[in-house]
Chains A and B, each alone.
Chain A
Amino acid sequence: MLFKKKKKVTETEDKDLPQSYWAYVKRQFRKNKRALYSLYIILFLAVIAIFADFIANDKPLMCKYEGKTYFPVFREYGVKAGLVDWQPELQNAQWYDLEYESAIWAPIPYRNTTIDYNNAPFVGPFEKQDVKSGRWHHLLGTNKIGNDVMACMIHGTRIAFLVGIVSMGIAFVIGIFFGAVAGFFGDDQVKATRGKVLMNILAFPFAIFYFGVFFDKSLWLGILGFIAVFIIANLLAKLFDFIPYMKDKIAVPLDLAITRFIEVVVSVPVLILVLSVVAVFPPSIFLVMGIIGLVRWTGIARFIRAELLRVRSLEYVEAAYALGFPRWRILLKHAIPNALAPVFIAVAFGIAAAILIESFLSFLGFGIPIELNTWGQLLTQSREAPEAWWLAIFPGFAIFITVTLFNLIGEGLTDAIDPRLKQ
């Protein structure tokens, strides 16, 4: 009886709820408890990643030293940003050895780079550790050179999330651009004079050249140079208007060109290519993020293309055309926002894959600087010391959980968004 009543209430509630597409997707997603809880745990992990410096740090959060109060962890941010310098008395401070009047340490008083010589190599979590007090106990043990595994795990969360989110951010931008252009304009929506088409094709090598020239100075200047070439080329194209043949308008097959390009990128063996690029250049986390982003955007582009092919013939887009809005405005303000939902499926799965690739590279010892002690690096260290079971279990478990959670969110999104399941 009670059950029935409750069900009825939710049904009526359903009707009163906002009917927009996003609200619908949100509601559908909430119904999938597994995906919802995965999202909560991921948010929790994201908090750990963001505040890693405050959770595990080798400097006190706040300390009183020789009568003055300091906030070393905050100060470190300023120093890294180049805004301030360390106070002269703390310039080369041995933070663990200072005689504090009082000090508040981070919950885990170590960093991923801190080396505790007294507790190396491989001191387990339950073994007797050579530490001042229980407060300084290495909760998950140490590795060969004496890094605190718990601290490495926490900072590893940050690196995993950074790689996952930044690389998918890059993929998102590239994918949305190509997918939207292909899906919205198709093969027949963009018409240009022959002169313009010719000039734009000719401008391409010049754009690359000037990108290269200015890239030596800065990345943004390079991009500016790239764009400037196309602007000039389009202005110059006006000159062709004097030739009748060049003045004819032709349809630019953008969709065809981009679909072919996507097919080319999809057939690239990602893992092997990433491995060989990373092996050539010196280790850098940014290189890893960049290269993953550059090869993993096709899923996003395909989703948004398919969605926009549908959206562009809907009434509200036609209405926007009828109202005389410019095409780019319709695309950016009306079409893309309504086509974004499926893209998040690709993003969720993409983040999982990127994190897996990062830990894979770390495990093999390519691409990620060795001193970072990421999850994959910790796991690989366990191979030389089988007795250090904590190095085999915890980092691997972290990779497993994070990847699984993102996959579950991806599945939840698929269920929520896939129109085939709409009632």
Chain B
Amino acid sequence: MFRYILKRILIFIPTLLVISIVIFMLGVYAPGDPVINLTAQSGGESMDDKKAGEESYIKKWKELGLNLPTFYLTLSSQADCDTLYRIHRKAHRETLAALTTKFGNWDQVDAYYKKIQSFENTVLNFTPDSASTKPWGRLRDNVGNLYLKSEPKSIENTLSKLDGYVGKINDTLNILSPGLTALNNGYGEVVDKSTTWKNYVPALNWYGLNNRYHKWISRFMVGDFGISYQDRKPISKKIGDNIFWTMLISIISIILTYILAVPLGVFSAVKKGTTADSVTTTFLFILYSLPNFWIATLLIIFLCNPQYLHWFPAFGVGTEAAEGKSMIAALGVRIHHLILPLFCWTYGSLAFLSRQMRGGMLGVLRQDYIRTARAKGLPENKVIWKHAFRNSLLPVITIFANIFPLMISGSVIIEVIFTIPGMGRMLVSAMTAQDFPVVFTIVMMVAVLTMIGYLIADVLYAFVDPRITYSSKK
């Protein structure tokens, strides 16, 4: 048994590793710049504002650990730069990567990038006279565009535009045009010395442990999930705020499911072939097939609406309505709010479990030892509950495996429809807001709990059915 558990855990490790890498890479390649999401943008135009903005950007960038390589190793081509991660603007990195893929010469691309930067500085430091304020302004606004251009045509276009503006500026000290010439030359170098063949030669870069994935996963393991982009709260606190209702509803729903489904399944198996059985079976099949988000929508429209029937409150968990009421009255309010979500949460698994239970029970009732038990005159009750029931418990356990992940992810859609402040709703709102740290934390937690659920189910199998042994002897 112990060896089996160990073996299962050994399988979970690669699974979790794969999931965590997939999720992490999703976060890396997700559109949008996390630093911009987290820093307040000062809209200033002046030199100082720009510098301050850049400084705060770099500070946040370092704080988030984005100045580190992404992963332990990368598989790239000879043309690509292995230290591209040191460039702090995500948009710039993307442009530079596109340029290197196109021309295959990182050295020249890097020089070109540095020339853009120095030219931008020259432009910003330039003090135009009154006549050339306008072209200078245009120049200043357009230099930055070069950072985002990777298509040869649009780069050339921008360069010639810049040339036009520089020509209009009254530049007595001749500061601007050498910079622009250098920039033009830099771009010319990139094009002339293109070594596209380098794109076809692979290169493996090793970065060691000091990388973003390693930091993220080791912090995750000790429960430090990072901060949310939306409200900059620690994610662990957000989870703590939201987990209560999800857990409560899940637990009640699981208990209800087992209390109702097991007897129902046994009943319809024992009464196989009767009208009662066929009615139950058909009813359960329909319940099983009804998508819960449809039923929830129908219930909320037709039972929670003044236009039709207004029997239940349409959303929330009644926090405001319960305030200042006595314990029992408050409990009543809560129950009133939770009946519909609970129903929608439960009926699917109820139907599923009953059907599984019936199937398992039917299989057992056909066995010889049941006939023997009946033949030796045992009362029917004893035959069913003592002999048949215990042996048909396997499906019940399978579902038990799903409980753990369910507790966290909840029934996402039910929480959304009934606006229950739980994990599922938090997940969806984080997705809509592209708040990836929250999304990936929840996904990882669900993955871990799924594994634990499977493990517990496996162990329970062995307890219920002694024939199942996981030792290697068999």
Contact = CB atoms under 8 A, between A and B. Distances in A.
Nearest to A365: B432
Contacts of A272: 409, 427, 442-443, 446-447
A421 interface: no
Interface in B365-410: 405, 409
B15 A267 contact: yes
Contacts of A360: 291, 293, 413
Given A206-B202, A275-B431, A263 B15 contact: yes
A121 interface: no
11 contacts: A208-B75, A209-B75, A209-B77, A216-B101, A267-B451, A272-B447, A276-B23, A276-B443, A359-B291, A360-B293, A366-B431
Contacts of B307: 386-387
Given A279-B434, A279-B439, A273 B19 contact: yes
B291 A269 contact: no
A269 B308 CA distance: 38
A272 to B, nearest CB: 5
Interface string A246-270: 0000000000000010011001110
Interface stretch (B224-232, B295-303, B324-332): B295-303
B2 interface: no
B428 to A, nearest CB: 6
A383 B417 CA distance: 8
Contact of B446 (A260, A269, A356, A393): A269
Interface stretch (A22-30, A91-99, A107-115, A398-406): A398-406
Nearest to B19: A268
Contacts of B75: 205, 208-209
Nearest to B449: A269
Given A213-B77, A280-B26, A407-B289, A399 B294 contact: yes
A269 B443 contact: yes
Interface string A111-154: 00000000000000000000000000000000000000000000
Given A364-B416, A364-B428, A392-B297, A280 B436 contact: yes
A382 interface: yes
A403 B289 contact: yes
Contacts of B434: 279
A206 B27 CA distance: 25
Interface in A377-410: 379-380, 382-383, 386-387, 389, 392-393, 396-397, 399-400, 403-404, 407
Contacts of A399: 291, 294
Contact of A209 (B19, B31, B202, B454): B202
Nearest to B402: A269
Interface of A: 205-206, 208-210, 213, 216, 260, 263-264, 267-269, 271-273, 275-277, 279-280, 282, 356, 359-360, 363-366, 379-380, 382-383, 386-387, 389, 392-393, 396-397, 399-400, 403-404, 407
Contacts of B305: 386
Contacts of B291: 356, 359-360, 396, 399-400, 403
B440 A264 contact: no
A269 B405 contact: yes
Contacts of A279: 431-432, 434, 439
B276 interface: no
Contacts of A213: 77, 199-200
Chain B interface extent, by class:
35 or more
Contacts of A407: 289
Contacts of A397: 294
Contacts of B27: 280
Contacts of A400: 289-291, 294
Contacts of A379: 293-294, 297
A211 to B, nearest CB: 11
Contacts of A366: 431
Contacts of B77: 209, 213
B443 A273 contact: yes
B202 A267 contact: no
B450 interface: yes
B84 to A, nearest CB: 16
B18 interface: yes
Identify the interface centre among B15, B432, B440: most chain A CB within 10 Å of its CB. B15
> What 3 pairs across the A-B complex have the smallest Cβ distances?
A396-B294, A279-B431, A404-B289
Contacts of A273: 19, 22, 443
Nearest to A403: B289
Interface of B: 11-12, 14-15, 18-19, 22-23, 26-27, 29-31, 75, 77, 101, 199-200, 202, 204, 286, 289-291, 293-294, 297-298, 300-302, 305, 307-308, 405, 409, 412-413, 416-417, 427-428, 431-432, 434, 436, 439-440, 442-443, 446-447, 450-451, 454
B26 A383 contact: no
Contact of A393 (B101, B293, B298, B416): B298
A365 B416 CA distance: 12
Contact of B18 (A264, A389, A403): A264
Given A209-B77, A386-B305, A275 B298 contact: no
A268 B15 contact: yes
Nearest to B10: A260
A44 to B, nearest CB: 19
B301 A386 contact: yes
B293 A264 contact: no
A98 B450 CA distance: 60
Given A271-B412, A272-B409, A407-B289, 13 more contacts: A205-B202, A209-B75, A209-B202, A213-B199, A268-B15, A271-B409, A273-B19, A276-B23, A277-B26, A392-B302, A396-B297, A399-B294, A403-B291
Contacts of B447: 267-269, 272
A383 B12 CA distance: 40
Contact of B413 (A209, A267, A364): A364
A354 to B, nearest CB: 13
A387 B290 CA distance: 22
Contacts of B417: 383
A240 to B, nearest CB: 21
Contacts of A268: 15, 19, 447
B365 to A, nearest CB: 15
A287 to B, nearest CB: 12
Nearest to B30: A280
B412 to A, nearest CB: 7
Contacts of A386: 301, 305, 307-308
A396 B101 contact: no
A363 B199 CA distance: 43
Contacts of A208: 75
A64 to B, nearest CB: 44
A365 B101 CA distance: 35
B243 to A, nearest CB: 16
Nearest to B416: A364
B451 A382 contact: no
A52 to B, nearest CB: 22
A161 B15 CA distance: 31
Contacts of A210: 200, 202
B30 A382 contact: no
A386 B309 CA distance: 11
Nearest to B294: A396
B205 to A, nearest CB: 12
A208 B439 CA distance: 28
B345 to A, nearest CB: 15
A264 B15 contact: yes
A263 to B, nearest CB: 5
Contacts of B446: 269, 272
Contact of B431 (A267, A276, A389, A396): A276
Nearest to A399: B291
A421 to B, nearest CB: 12
Given A264-B18, A272-B446, A364 B412 contact: yes
A363 B414 CA distance: 12
Nearest to B295: A396
Contacts of B451: 267
Contacts of B19: 268, 273
